[in-house]
Amino acid sequence: MQVTVAVDCMGGDHGVRVTVPAAVNVMRHDPALSVILVGQREAIEQELTRLGAVPDARLSIAHASEIVSMDEPPASALRSKKDSSMRIAANLVEEGLAAACVSAGNTGALMAISRFVLKMLAGIDRPAIAAVLPALKGHTYVLDLGANVDCSPEHLVQFGIMCSELVSSVEGKARPTVGLLNVGAEDIKGNELVKRAAELMRASDLNFHGYVEGDDIYKGATDVVVCDGFVGNVALKTSEGLAQMLATYLREEFNRSWFSRLAGFVSLPVINAFKRRVDHRRYNGATLLGLRGIVVKSHGSADIFAFEHAIGRAVAEARGGVLTHIAERMAAMHKSAA
Amino acid sequence: MQVTVAVDCMGGDHGVRVTVPAAVNVMRHDPALSVILVGQREAIEQELTRLGAVPDARLSIAHASEIVSMDEPPASALRSKKDSSMRIAANLVEEGLAAACVSAGNTGALMAISRFVLKMLAGIDRPAIAAVLPALKGHTYVLDLGANVDCSPEHLVQFGIMCSELVSSVEGKARPTVGLLNVGAEDIKGNELVKRAAELMRASDLNFHGYVEGDDIYKGATDVVVCDGFVGNVALKTSEGLAQMLATYLREEFNRSWFSRLAGFVSLPVINAFKRRVDHRRYNGATLLGLRGIVVKSHGSADIFAFEHAIGRAVAEARGGVLTHIAERMAAMHKSAA
């Protein structure tokens, strides 16, 4: 299926040096994909020249004179940078010239701009950030990962519905299972927020699995894990910290002596296979759910390989028709409630 | 320093087969330690016989006819099992016959019984569960890990004060640094709870470091990380899940082929050194803070090695005089506020 994606080339820690090569690589492997490179024309052209690529029918440049910096307050990015690459990328989606946009820029600004430009889907109050995490069995979609630090039970239900549709659109699963993150599996456990959200989920047409705990994310107990943005963000960052610590320890142990270095050398293929398997870059690309357009947020520090995956996610969501699925589901719920 | 610890021998998944050998082992290495083994006399005696140990001046048995089961509701354990090993262990602390007690039993029941028997320290509203987690730099104390799923800002401040005193008592640090877990380091980030708690912490005499994020736990950015019990429990369980997944993956990669098995064989000393370093059993033993007595909760699935560490923690806290430190700090604060 033909699809066009707008790439904010100026966002992230590395800008065009990462975003442009990633876009070119993904395009080369996907003949039905068109990309609009958004940002400072000269910088993008220079990077394309370096790569031996030229703009053509599938690869165009949309000039944007401004850049949203990584630490810029969302309100200022929204109000005063109307010609930023992030804003123009969102505009392209709003105008229907691109089916999705991808940015490695400042999350808060991307959220504010996307919300302003694209607006929310009917029946959804707030956007949520959903990401895929690896699990023993397959992988798990988790949301919200930080867009909403104070949620109502109704918001959590909406998150469940949106992500359910996301999973069925992208993965082709008919009725993805949804778990609600809690501090225990028993009904009496939890705070008021999750207790009320569980009641609502049970009454909804979600394939609600009940409460799950933190470890269930990596067990892959359910397709989707729903939580508020504060809890989700802590879970994600804690995981990052633990993974980094374990990687450091493993490296230190393999560097401790000549014997351990030798063992490390012999084990290199195994260690590399392990690393490939848990490579967080393969999971790069979080989805801003709830908007009238597909917006994917890449990690700011993403390298080319990681950014390719973020673009790939945007393409998969566009082809899966996730927006239509969510809109239809919300309309059906509204009808049955009326 | 002479110290006596009461050990609930019936709690946990393995009962006397783990608790009794662990107690005997710890005693053998600590001539100034006395232990009261609490539980069904016959079962304890049988286990002692199996170990070739006999009760003496330092090793006594306190009979308890009942056992709190692992899935028993706290209220029922509290009301109807007045002769449970858990209850008798807490009674021994209350009566001053033991300086601390240790149990691998049901957390909710241990919390309810301890609170009922020992009461709260003056100025503390709620008990919190604090545990030590490994970090790149040293280790980090984190609380609350699940005792309180709905906290007020004042509770978080109390948690910070208590754990600060715990760290200075046990580790000998004069003014441990305290971080407040949030979704970003900037002042504008976070929900109402943490924003208000941060204000109170800044105004207190805590060595308040400001906001920390999930990854800072494993970086060891601060000595203490404070959060509400819902968030803390999710962070802890998510960490457990991730560690298990990574361990499984590593094992699978080393078992994939004859070559990887050979590499695994060569690397065994390195892998074992790594395992020792991240061995969660060395961190077993969470502290129930805020009570008028030292209560340490072991993981229910603890083995002998892990349970020894839980007993060791109780001993260290008793010797460090943590209760006196917390009480003095609360009294000083009350005075300066009056």
Question: Quick one: how many helices (H) and strands (E) in chain B?
Answer: 12, 11
pLDDT bracket for residue B28 (50, 70, 90): very high
What value does the mean pLDDT of chain B take?
A: 93
Please report residues of B whose CB lies closer than 8 A to that of A267: 254, 263-264, 266-267
Worst-scoring range by mean pLDDT, B19-23, B44-48, B111-115, B326-330?
B326-330
Contacts of A46 (CB under 8 A, 6+ apart): A16
Query: Which residues in chain A (106-145) have CB-CB distances under 8 A to chain B?
Result: 134-136
Q: How many Å lie between the alpha carbon of B254 and the closest alpha carbon of chain A?
A: 6
Q: Name the pLDDT band for B187 (thresholds 50, 70, 90).
A: confident
Per-residue pLDDT at B338 exceeds 70: no
Q: Residues A109, A78: contact at Cβ < 8 Å?
A: yes
Angstrom distances, CA of residue A338 to CA of A44, A109, A331, A332:
51, 36, 10, 10
Query: What local confidence, expressed as pLDDT, does residue A331 receive?
Result: 85
Residue A59 identity (one-letter amino acid): L
Q: What is the pLDDT of residues A141-158, one digit of tens each?
A: 999 998 888 899 999 999
Chain segment A183-205, per-residue pLDDT in tens: 987 777 888 899 999 999 999 99
Report which of residues A337 and A218 the model is more confident about: A218
Contact yes or no for B183 and A149 at CB 8 A: yes
Mean pLDDT of A42-71: 94
Each residue's pLDDT tens digit, B124-179:
988 999 999 999 989 999 999 988 888 999 999 999 999 999 999 999 999 999 99
Interface pTM, i.e. ipTM = 0.90
Contact A88, A62 (CB under 8 A): yes
Residues 6+ apart with CB under 8 A from B221: B140, B179, B209, B212
Please give the pLDDT value at position B337: 65
Rg for chain A, CA atoms, rounded: 21
**Is the CB of B230 inside 8 Å of chain A's CB atoms?**
yes
What percent of chain B is predicted at pLDDT more than 70? 99
Q: Of A23-37, A268-282, B294-308, where does mean pLDDT reach its minimum?
A: A268-282
Closest CB from B213, B227, B245 relative to A136:
B245
B14 CB-near residues (< 8 Å, 6+ apart): B301, B302, B303
**Confidence at A338, pLDDT banded by 50, 70, 90:** low
pLDDT at B29: 94
pLDDT at A69: 92
In the block, tokens 């989606």 appear at A93
Q: Count H helices and E strands in chain A, helices first.
A: 12, 11
A260 Cβ under 8 Å from any chain B Cβ: yes
pLDDT at A150: 86
User: By the 8 A CB rule, do B11 and B105 touch?
Assistant: yes
The DSSP bridge partners found for residue B128 are: B289
Half-sphere exposure of B67 (CA within 13 A, CB side): 17
pLDDT of residue B154: 94
Give residue B100's pLDDT band: very low, low, confident or very high (50, 70, 90).
very high
Contacts of A174 (CB under 8 A, 6+ apart): A168
- CA separation for the pair B148, A310 (Å, rounded): 38
Q: What's the pLDDT at A297? A: 97
- Alpha-helix residue ranges (DSSP H) falling in B52-152: 74-80, 85-94, 107-118
CB contact under 8 A, B214 and A235: yes
What confidence tens digit (pLDDT) does each residue in B283-330 have?
A: 999 999 999 999 999 999 999 999 999 999 999 999 999 999 999 988
A288: left (phi > 0), else alpha (psi -120 to 50), else beta?
beta
Inform me whether the pLDDT recorded for B190 exceeds 90. no
* Interface residue of B196, B218, B257 to substitute, partner A, most A CBs within 10 Å: B218
- Cβ neighbour number for residue A80 with a 10 Å cutoff: 11
| pLDDT above 80: residue B185 | no
CB contact set of A337 (below 8 Å; sequence gap of 6+): none
Mean local confidence (pLDDT), B85-114: 96
**Cross-chain residue pair B239–A236, CB shorter than 8 Å:** no
Note the pLDDT of residue A123.
Answer: 87
Q: Decide if B183 and A227 are in contact by the 8 Å CB cutoff.
A: no
**pLDDT tens profile A235-265:** 999 999 999 999 999 999 999 899 989 888 8
Chain B touched by A183 (CB under 8 Å): yes
